[in-house]
């Protein structure tokens, strides 16, 4: 590494890798911190991506990320499979520390940390995490062969997880707090017509029961208030994501929901030389293709900034 880098990209996923591809092609010699366990981002935990343009028959999420990664590498991006654990973005030279104790200085930084799974917020959800409670069907679905499991949520993630889990489970009960799904029509219809999926409408999970592993859920009807208990051996939580802003929350401007605020029509944050893209910024679209799009914008913004400074 040189003494002061042109650009450090923090986070991978479609936004970070696309920023790296563009910045590398612009000969900025970018460094991209991919994350030690989160490299590739949310798409590493999905199955088939059917709507990323250019793939007529769809592509598996991890394969798409692997291809973007290799493309960034081909143009000379310096990929580091480690985390940034501290950042000081205030001055003209940004100072970042990684998980191995190295300090990196840079003239510009692209924030592409994405988002993290949202939790229901129950004490026993945490306690039984990895013991029946999971946030990743593709990672853990295999362990629930021939069992009855619950999925919580009503968005695309929940119906995608529920549909995927029918490969293993004997029955999947999709628990949603309202009486209609938020998921896209095509994915919702696929789930609703699957004979292995049962819908439990207007229902909230209020507790996860079990001493060593998940045995049952305590449920509350959101219309009648009635509380009931139902046996399940697994609970998959798919209720959305929150932006991963921990490292920058006291430095860059965030909106009320914790997303990084960027100047209209650009990826510029309130700090000079600091840009942000992907799910860290976007609470509206949150698609792989929109994340890649803003990743591209952030590299072009950084390039322009560097050429003026």
Catalytic residues, which ones? 136, 139-140
What does R_g of the chain's alpha carbons equal in angstroms? 21
- CB of residue 102 to ligand NAP, shortest distance in Å: 34
Determine which residue in the list 32, 43, 79, 120 makes contact with ligand NAP, applying CB under 6 A. Answer: 120
Residue 152 found at the interface with ligand NAP (CB under 6 A): yes
Residue listed under structure tokens 């932006």 = 243
Calpha distance 106→123 (Å, rounded): 41
Annotate each residue in 66-105 with x if it binds ligand NAP (CB under 6 A) or - if it does not, as one string. ----------------------------------------
Calpha distance 118→238 (Å, rounded): 8
Which residue stretch of 25-33, 71-79, 148-156, 264-272 sits at the interface with ligand NAP (rule: CB under 6 A)? 148-156
- CB of residue 64 to ligand NAP, shortest distance in Å: 12
Determine which residue in the list 182, 190, 220, 230 makes contact with ligand NAP, applying CB under 6 A. Answer: 182
Determine which residue in the list 69, 94, 244, 286 makes contact with ligand NAP, applying CB under 6 A. Answer: 286
Residue 156 found at the interface with ligand NAP (CB under 6 A): yes
Which residue stretch of 3-11, 150-158, 214-222, 261-269 sits at the interface with ligand NAP (rule: CB under 6 A)? 150-158
Residue 158 found at the interface with ligand NAP (CB under 6 A): yes
Determine which residue in the list 14, 16, 132, 155 makes contact with ligand NAP, applying CB under 6 A. Answer: 155
- CB of residue 284 to ligand NAP, shortest distance in Å: 8
Residue 162 found at the interface with ligand NAP (CB under 6 A): no
- CB of residue 288 to ligand NAP, shortest distance in Å: 8
Residue 243 found at the interface with ligand NAP (CB under 6 A): no
Nearer Cβ to ligand NAP (89/208): 208
Task: Compute how many residues bind ligand NAP; rule: CB under 6 A.
Answer: 17
Residue 62 found at the interface with ligand NAP (CB under 6 A): no
Residue 108 found at the interface with ligand NAP (CB under 6 A): no
* Pairing verdict, β 133-134 and 115-117: unpaired
Residues that bind ligand NAP (CB under 6 A): 51, 120, 152-158, 160, 177-178, 182, 239-241, 286
């Amino acid at each position: 590494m040189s003494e002061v880098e042109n650009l450090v990209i923090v986070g991978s996923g479609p936004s970070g890798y696309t920023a790296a591809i563009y910045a590398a092609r612009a000969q900025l010699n970018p460094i991209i911190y991919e994350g030690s366990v989160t490299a590739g981002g949310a798409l590493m935990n999905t199955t088939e991506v059917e709507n990323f343009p250019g793939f007529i028959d769809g592509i598996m999420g991890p394969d798409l990320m692997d291809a973007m990664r290799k493309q960034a590498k081909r143009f000379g991006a310096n990929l580091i499979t480690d985390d940034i654990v501290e950042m000081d973005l205030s001055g003209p030279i940004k100072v970042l520390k990684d998980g191995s104790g190295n300090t990196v200085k840079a003239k510009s930084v692209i924030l592409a940390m994405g988002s993290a799974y949202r939790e229901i917020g129950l004490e026993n959800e945490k306690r039984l995490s990895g013991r029946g409670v999971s946030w990743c069907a593709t990672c853990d679905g295999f362990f629930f062969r021939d069992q009855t499991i619950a999925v919580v949520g009503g968005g695309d993630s929940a119906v995608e997880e529920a549909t995927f889990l029918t490969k293993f489970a004997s029955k999947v009960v999709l628990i949603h707090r309202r009486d209609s799904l938020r998921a896209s029509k095509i994915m919702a219809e696929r789930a609703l017509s699957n004979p292995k999926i049962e819908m439990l409408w207007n229902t909230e999970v209020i507790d996860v029961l079990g001493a060593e592993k998940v045995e049952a859920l305590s449920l509350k009807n959101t219309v009648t208030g009635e509380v009931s208990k139902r046996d399940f051996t697994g609970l998959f939580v798919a209720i959305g994501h929150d932006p991963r802003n921990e490292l920058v929350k006291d430095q860059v401007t965030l909106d009320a929901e914790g997303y990084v605020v960027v100047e209209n029509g650009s990826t510029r944050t309130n700090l000079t030389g600091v840009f942000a893209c992907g799910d860290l910024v976007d609470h509206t679209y949150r698609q792989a293709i929109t994340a890649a799009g803003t990743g591209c914008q952030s590299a072009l913004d950084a390039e322009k900034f560097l050429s003026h400074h």
